[in-house]
Amino acid sequence: MRKNDMVRTQERMYTTALPPQHSDSDSRIIDTPGPSLHLYQVWKGNNRFCFNGRIILGPDSRSLFLTVSLIVVPVILFCAFVSQRLVEQFPRHIGNLIVVLCPLFAVYVVILLLITSARDPGIIPRSLHPPEPEDDGYVSSISSDWPGSQNGPPGVPPTKDTLVNGVIVKIKYCQTCMLYRPPRCSHCSICNNCVERFDHHCPWVGQCIGKRNYRFFFMFVSSTTMLCLYVFAFCWVNIMKIMDAYHCNLWRALSRSPVSGFLILYTFGAAWFVGGLTGFHLYLIFTNQTTYENFRYRYNVKMNPYNRGCFRNVGEVFFSKIPRSKHNFREMVKGDSSSVFASSMSLRHPMSPEIPKTSSDIEMGKRQAVAAEDLEDIQSQIDSVGGLERCGTQPRHTNWDHKTNWESSPDIQMLAAEFGMEHGSTGRQKIEGANDLKT
């Protein structure tokens, strides 16, 4: 009787688990032959896309509405309440020019803002597989502060050395994108992308600032500074004209034009902010640094390998050709669409433009991958324990291929049961078999 129970237990242990049931939308993705989705629909970063992938935005692109309002509202107030007095105080053609220049300048600033925000900053394409060990010409160098080799692919060093203008520069391996970042490239934790010549992630623009949009970002910041100074100056001119016309002091003039006083205070504070930012980035351009490098590497202590002189640095930013994007977000996904389904199921939902992707989804996918690896390790420990028990205590049965009776510790049983509930029925079947054999 006990032998029959053991045979039934063995059959239950090695019964093939039924495939998981999928929804109708998932089945359509699997059953559709060939590429069926655009790249922006299965994009693994946190970006948002508009107009069917023609425009790429950052995950915090809603801040654009605040930034645009901070630019447009003061200009509307200036044109509605201040410029009308200037038309009367100046000759007609000069007054009309003052009125027209301000809104035109504001439109120019908003266009630069939208170009900076809606442009690919220089995203590096992700690799489908980790690189082969020593498959390039770099010299490997294991960093002492690396938290452990188990965090990266086996055989792939965490850092490598490369020469930049005769100076050795370390490049790091990105576990998310599965590639060695090119020099001056960094992974943005907000957008979840590796960006070429990464400068910083600007919350006012809602986008990373990199190689392909840094020029427009600087033009936007500097133009905003000039717009603030323009409104600030002519508001003061309006106050002075009121003082001369009514022979009054400053406070009475401000009471006659309170909008001018408000705009003077507003543009004064804004000019300090964007003006200081413009000056800081002028320093970075002259010395050929990025914001990330300036805060992290401190080239005033060590040599900057990218500095080629002031004039060449300025020419590199403003007069060099902007490289084309490495992505065509509207192209169809290459390869078998089942791989697309597999990547989408790792985030517990199919990737589609209607369902936004968040950082918590990405972290959940990473935790599931780690859990799957832990489950495999636990199962291998169980199998090894079973092999030892079979060799030492149990006779060989003809119905069993290579596994027989085994006994595991309560900790292993508990972990295997926990991971088995999440990743399939195979782990639960083995635990049930183990309990039957023990009884």
Tens of pLDDT, residue by residue over 365-415, are 444 443 444 444 444 444 444 443 333 434 444 333 433 343 444 454 554
The catalytic position among 174, 202, 208, 228 is 202
How big is the CA angle at 231 (ends 225 and 232), to the nearest 5 degrees? 85
- Per-residue pLDDT tens listing for the chain (439 residues): 455 555 455 555 444 444 444 434 344 444 445 557 899 999 999 999 999 999 999 999 999 999 999 999 999 999 999 988 888 888 888 888 988 999 999 999 999 999 999 999 999 999 988 887 664 444 444 443 444 444 556 667 888 989 888 888 889 999 999 999 999 999 999 999 999 999 999 999 999 999 999 999 999 999 999 999 999 999 999 999 999 988 999 999 999 999 999 999 999 999 999 999 999 999 999 999 999 999 987 777 778 999 999 999 999 999 999 999 999 999 987 644 444 433 333 333 333 333 344 444 444 444 444 344 444 444 444 444 444 333 343 444 433 343 334 344 445 455 445 444 444 444 444 445 544 544 4
Contacts of 110 (CB under 8 A, 6+ apart): 68, 71, 72
How big is the CA angle at 316 (ends 313 and 321), to the nearest 5 degrees? 175
DSSP single-letter state for residue 37: S
Scanning 170-325, the segments in alpha helix (DSSP H) are: 214-246, 250-256, 258-287, 291-296, 310-318
Contact 428/396 with Cβ under 8 angstroms?
no
End-to-end CA distance of the chain: give it in Å, rounded: 13
Instruction: Give the pLDDT confidence score for residue 6 in this predicted structure.
Output: 54
Give how far Cα 123 sits from Cα of 56, 231, 365, Å.
11, 37, 22
d(CA 429, CA 431): 5
Structure tokens at 74: 């003061």
Q: Using CA atoms of 27, 30, 31, 37 in order, give the dihedral in degrees to the nearest 10.
A: 110
Tell me if residue 202 is catalytic: yes
Contact 59/66 with Cβ under 8 angstroms?
no
What pTM value is reported for the model? 0.67
What SS3 class is residue 109? helix
Q: Using CA atoms of 409, 412, 417, 422 in order, give the dihedral in degrees to the nearest 10.
A: 180
Instruction: Give the pLDDT confidence score for residue 8 in this predicted structure.
Output: 57
Instruction: Give the pLDDT confidence score for residue 141 in this predicted structure.
Output: 44
Residue 408: CB atoms within 10 A of its CB come to 21
What SS3 class is residue 140? strand
Instruction: Give the pLDDT confidence score for residue 64 in this predicted structure.
Output: 95
Instruction: Give the pLDDT confidence score for residue 154 in this predicted structure.
Output: 64
Instruction: Give the pLDDT confidence score for residue 132 in this predicted structure.
Output: 76
